[in-house]
Structure 1
């Protein structure tokens, strides 16, 4: 399940643009925090699962390496050497399970996405504080309409950036379900169209067999001019 949008977009009377902007800022901030919290909570289950499987891989690899050595030294009976192969098989099964369920990769994606949203939220908070200070000191250019437009532009860019972060993470998540590597983009080969005269001239200059050294091309023999009758 992917993160949702949270509360609906706040619609109100824009007769008081300052109050509406503050309400819209709170909505945008809560939406970003909700998405970041979703990724952090989703990370917890994947983190525990990935650590459990990695522990199984470590124990299986250690058992596969130690048990045959103990049988060679005579510490354990020879029949116990088969447990080393079973331990190795268990380690491979843990690796395959981690790859199949995408626990480690999903854990890393969740952490990276939550951190990216938090960094973008910090940038918005400082930009919003800067706009608030500018309004308190008095707008240097434009009026209240331009100040409201700047605030809406800040919130819109932030919302688009958060949506792009989520879209990028979702695209990476969907790539894990592809059976093989993504096909390379085929580049069209540009073929220059030659004129028929150039093709004919090139065809006359091509020799099917290389000429021997010292070979002189023979010219067609011409009939001698006939004398007057």
Structure 2
């Protein structure tokens, strides 16, 4: 449906521009009012796309799927590294420590994907509650557990964080110190 709205916008704009020009040249008489109607159709397609967030939702879906795919590739690489480490022999620790390293790899992957889903769900719920797609770009950072963080806007586009590309420093809450 995003493609249909984009095609409707293109057809409406193209027809809305072409019909008045044809009317000016005399090739088609009385086509100018139909050109205005075609432009109105194009604007209606853009408005529907913006309000319902069809294209932005599709872009967010693609960005999230790509982020999950990158996490899966990192899991496969980390798992292969642990498997090679086991094949070469227990040079680093006991079998229990090797199992703990494998569980840490799986836990990290699970936490990454859970965080991706949580952030995307929260973003979708916020968009749904507001009654339409967000007009401005709101940056969301997906943490990468030791890998570079990816910044994805509320509309699915990769964006630069505010303040010239530097992330603002937010104070962290520390646990109370023991007495």
Do they superpose with TM above 0.5?
yes
Using the alignment, how far apart are the partners of 1:181 and 1:136 within structure 2? 53
Give the 3-state SS of the residue equivalent to 1:55 in structure 2: helix
Alignment of 1:156-171 (within 5 A): 156-171=107-122
Equivalent residues, number: 133
Change (3 A) 1:115 1:96: same
CA deviation string 1:41-76 (max 9, x = no partner): xxxxxxxx1111111111111111111111122222
Please show how residues 101-116 of structure 1 align to structure 2 within 5 Å. Answer: 101-116=52-67
2:77 matches 1:126: yes
For residues 39 and 32 of structure 2, what CA distance do their matches in structure 1 show? 12
Question: Aligned ranges for residues 1-229 of structure 1 at < 5 Å?
Answer: 49-78=1-30, 80-177=31-128, 178=130
Computing the radius of gyration from Cα coordinates, the structure with the larger value is 1
Deviation at 1:150, TM superposition (A): 0.9
Give the superposed CA RMSD: 1.9
Gaps of 5+ in 2: 137-179
| d(CA) in 1 for partners of 2:17, 2:135 | 33
Q: TM-score, normalised by structure 2?
A: 0.68
Mapped to 2, the partners of 1:106 and 1:181 lie a distance apart of 13
Residue 224 (structure 1) aligns with: none
Cα deviation for residue 146 of structure 1 reads 1.0
1:4 maps to what in 2? Answer: none
CA distances 1:76-128 after superposition (whole Å, capped 9, x unpaired): 223x3211111011001101111122111111111111111111111111111
User: What are the ranges of 5 or more consecutive residues in structure 1 without an aligned counterpart?
Assistant: 1-48, 183-229
> Alpha-carbon deviations, 1:8-59, whole Å to 9, x = none?
xxxxxxxxxxxxxxxxxxxxxxxxxxxxxxxxxxxxxxxxx11111111111
Q: Which has the higher strand share?
A: 2
Compute the displacement of 1:171 (Å).
2.7
Consecutive aligned runs of 4 or more in structure 1 exceeding 6 Å deviation: none
